[in-house]
């Protein structure tokens, strides 16, 4: 099929943060899209911009339902498998469910795509977590994985996603399933929730409320943050690149920032009066009793040169623009929340 010809895509986890942005872009590009999401972390409002479009079909269900996955895959040409347990905090709270969703769900998707007659092009979303504690200057796809103790739940997620990758590459090697694995580094943008440990939306919400920004540890740990629109661009570019089948790619912005400096930048851009507060990892307001299963990384920087070599694409949206997008989105959400609270209060007064 020519790259720009309309086709039908299945996006698992399509009501989630990254998934919803991908769905919007695919529909804009003329594709028909089926979304499979159990709405455990995804949200219907994330798809508000396209929910009434005839090109969208939203199916509430789980990738753990093998029969449902088989049925939906049979109706499409390409599959973006984004459904997963997400966020360090969520994974630490639900280690068993995390393992089941990530491993069994991916196996169901791969098996459904690997029909001998018409195998489906499929992209499997993995994570930079698979690199573990490897803190070399820029992590390349073939670099070693350095994991901590198997007793720490932080590494359950990394191990599960590594198994996902192994399944994907095994299907490529043995059945020539055209599958591409992507390792997503920290992705940021509108609609991302801070409920599962994502740092940027939490910082922004605290800043807009002029509350202290809680920085865990000493704040000297560094991360690289990539705009969700750049990530979506990369996902689609890889799916349109036949040579990317059987390969693994980092997707991330290589410019790192200390978390304490990120907090300061959020305060500045939000024009907030918030202060910074360093919080030890073992403190109750950090990970509390789950701190025994937590281990943080000092730095994690992607080498995205392979992505550029195959697709010609590099992430190009800067951090300040990304933070402004999140601030604008959260400010709007906060305004709607405050308006609803005022309306509710007025109704209570009227009833009295």
Residues 157, 171, 216, 287: which is the catalytic one? 157
Do the beta carbons of residue 30 and residue 4 sit within 8 Å? yes
From 243, 197, 210, 235, select the one nearest 14 (Cα to Cα): 235
From 101, 122, 102, select the one nearest 110 (Cα to Cα): 122
Give CA–CA dist 182/124, Å, rounded: 6
Cβ-proximal residues to 219 (8 Å cutoff; 6+ apart), any chain: 258, 259, 260, 263, 276, 278
Give CA–CA dist 332/305, Å, rounded: 36
- Which pairing describes strands 179-184 and 121-127: parallel, antiparallel, or unpaired? parallel
Give CA–CA dist 284/203, Å, rounded: 18
Question: Residue 78 CB: number of other CB atoms within 10 A?
Answer: 22
Active site residue 157: yes
Do the beta carbons of residue 252 and residue 302 sit within 8 Å? yes
- Six token digits for residue 164: 């996902």
As annotated, the active-site residues are 157
């Amino acid at each position: 099929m020519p790259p720009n010809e309309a086709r039908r895509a299945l996006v698992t986890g399509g009501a989630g943060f990254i998934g919803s942005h991908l769905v919007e872009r695919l529909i804009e590009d003329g594709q028909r899209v089926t979304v499979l999401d159990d709405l455990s972390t995804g949200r219907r409002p994330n798809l508000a911009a396209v929910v009434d479009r005839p090109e969208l079909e939203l199916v509430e269900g789980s990738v753990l339902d093998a029969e449902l996955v088989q049925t939906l895959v049979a109706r499409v040409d390409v599959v973006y498998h984004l459904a997963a347990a997400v966020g360090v905090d969520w994974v630490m709270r639900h280690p068993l469910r995390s393992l089941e969703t990530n491993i069994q769900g991916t196996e169901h998707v791969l098996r459904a795509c690997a029909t001998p007659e018409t195998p489906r092009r499929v992209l499997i979303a993995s994570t930079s977590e698979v690199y573990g504690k490897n803190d070399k200057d820029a992590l390349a796809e073939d670099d070693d994985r350095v994991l901590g103790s198997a007793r720490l739940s932080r590494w359950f997620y990394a191990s599960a996603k590594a198994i996902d990758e192994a399944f994907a590459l095994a299907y490529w090697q043995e059945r020539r399933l055209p599958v591409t694995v992507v390792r997503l580094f920290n992705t940021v943008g509108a609609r991302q929730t801070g409920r599962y440990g994502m740092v940027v939306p939490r910082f922004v919400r605290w800043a807009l409320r002029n509350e202290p920004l809680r920085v865990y540890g000493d704040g000297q740990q560094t991360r690289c943050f990539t705009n969700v629109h750049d990530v979506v661009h990369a996902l689609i570019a890889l799916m349109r690149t036949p040579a990317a089948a059987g390969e693994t790619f980092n997707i991330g912005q290589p410019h790192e920032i200390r978390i304490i400096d990120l907090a300061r930048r959020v305060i500045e851009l939000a024009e907030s009066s918030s202060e910074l507060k360093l919080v030890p990892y073992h403190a109750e307001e950090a990970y509390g009793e789950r701190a025994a299963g937590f281990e943080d990384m000092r730095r994690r920087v992607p080498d995205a040169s392979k992505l550029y070599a195959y697709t010609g694409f590099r992430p190009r949206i800067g951090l300040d623009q990304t933070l402004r997008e999140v601030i604008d989105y959260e400010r709007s959400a906060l305004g709607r929340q405050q308006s609803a609270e005022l309306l509710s209060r007025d109704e209570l007064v009227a009833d009295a």
